Amino acid sequence: MKIGLIGAGWIGEEHVKRLAGRVTGAEVVAVSDIDPERAAAAAAIAGARVVDTAERLIADPGVEAVVVTSWAPVHAEQVLACIAAGKPVFCEKPLTTEAADGLRILDAEQARGERLVQVGFMRRYDAGYRQMKAVLDAGGVGVPLMVHCAHRNPTQPESYHSDKPMVDTAVHEIDVLRWLLGEEFATVQVVVPRSTSQRFPHLVDPQILLLETASGARVDVEVFVNCRYGYDIQCEIVGETGTVRLPDPAAPLVRSEGRASYAVVQDFPSRFADAFDTELQEWVDSLRSGVPAGPSAWDGYAATVVANAAVEARRTGGVVAVDLPGRPAFYQE
């Protein structure tokens, strides 16, 4: 599979390394970025060509499939161009920042009549989440009643603003819980505790997202992006007959200087490295059969609708209904 990649920032460069070094059956042949030097650096990793614009890369006859790792506000136009060109496209999360743009993608894909879009929600490929799903699907804890999650980052840059905890960070829980629980969310609310002093002053951090599913299960997600001590992802599902918890990444127990301790992972590229590899490998494999098997444009759209509702909920302080239309038959699994 000859791949063109748009957006050679750090996640783009990581994906070039992955596709060039670890994923089989794929080759990065072209890279584009608004910064030509960045494009050249990423292209050099894979021995790929630099193409000067995203439009030209998408139209390039040598490119069979596209990876979009550009800035989120331009995802929609690039994904729409891939659909118009009939090329499979893997787009990093979030698919769009605005739900209206997600609807344009759904309309275009359905009008084209073939599934071309996959969204980079990599947690569905994490071994621990997959183990949790197997337990849930086998009825191992009974019907899920409550979910408790924490999504902690050590810190975030100054450009990270108060909507981002929902649209950029909790969007992962929104997607992975839709997948684990197998249903949509009906309402959202955001509760704001005292903010940490360890942050840029413009940022509201932490924030607690409270969700209710269509069938009445309740979810709380602590989003704390300046926790300082590490990159820590927690998830526990409480069912009618038991609980299932996301395993922490395996780490050796060190006994030294009067203490017994485990190291905490420090960043998400390390925490989800295997998940990212599996995600791209399964995407490439699924393209052979013609249909991308991972999170669809519908999943990307649904997650953005919930995240946008959460932003509104924080701003208004109220409970906001999730205004999600029915899932089109085209996207039924």
State the residues that interact with ligand ISE by CB under 6 A.
153, 168-169, 172, 225, 268
Residue whose Cβ sits closest to ligand ISE: 169
175 CB-contact burial (10 Å; exposed 0-12 / middle 13-18 / buried 19+): buried
Nearer to ligand ISE, 169 or 187 (CB): 169
Structural contact between residues 191 and 138, judged by C-beta atoms closer than 8 angstroms: no
Q: How far apart are CA 94 and CA 169, in angstroms?
A: 10
CB of 91 to ligand ISE, least distance (A): 13
Nearer to ligand ISE, 121 or 301 (CB): 121
As a three-state string, the secondary structure of 123-189 is HHHCHHHHHHHHHHHCCCCCCEEEEEEEEECCCCCCCCCCCHHHHHHHHHHHHHHHHHHCCCEEEEE
CB of 10 to ligand ISE, least distance (A): 10
CB of 159 to ligand ISE, least distance (A): 10
CB of 59 to ligand ISE, least distance (A): 29
Rg of the Cα atoms in the chain: 20
Q: How far apart are CA 312 and CA 320, in angstroms?
A: 7
Q: How far apart are CA 258 and CA 93, in angstroms?
A: 43
Nearer to ligand ISE, 38 or 93 (CB): 93
Nearer to ligand ISE, 48 or 149 (CB): 149
CB of 178 to ligand ISE, least distance (A): 16
Structural contact between residues 285 and 114, judged by C-beta atoms closer than 8 angstroms: no
Nearer to ligand ISE, 109 or 168 (CB): 168
CB of 150 to ligand ISE, least distance (A): 11
Nearer to ligand ISE, 153 or 213 (CB): 153
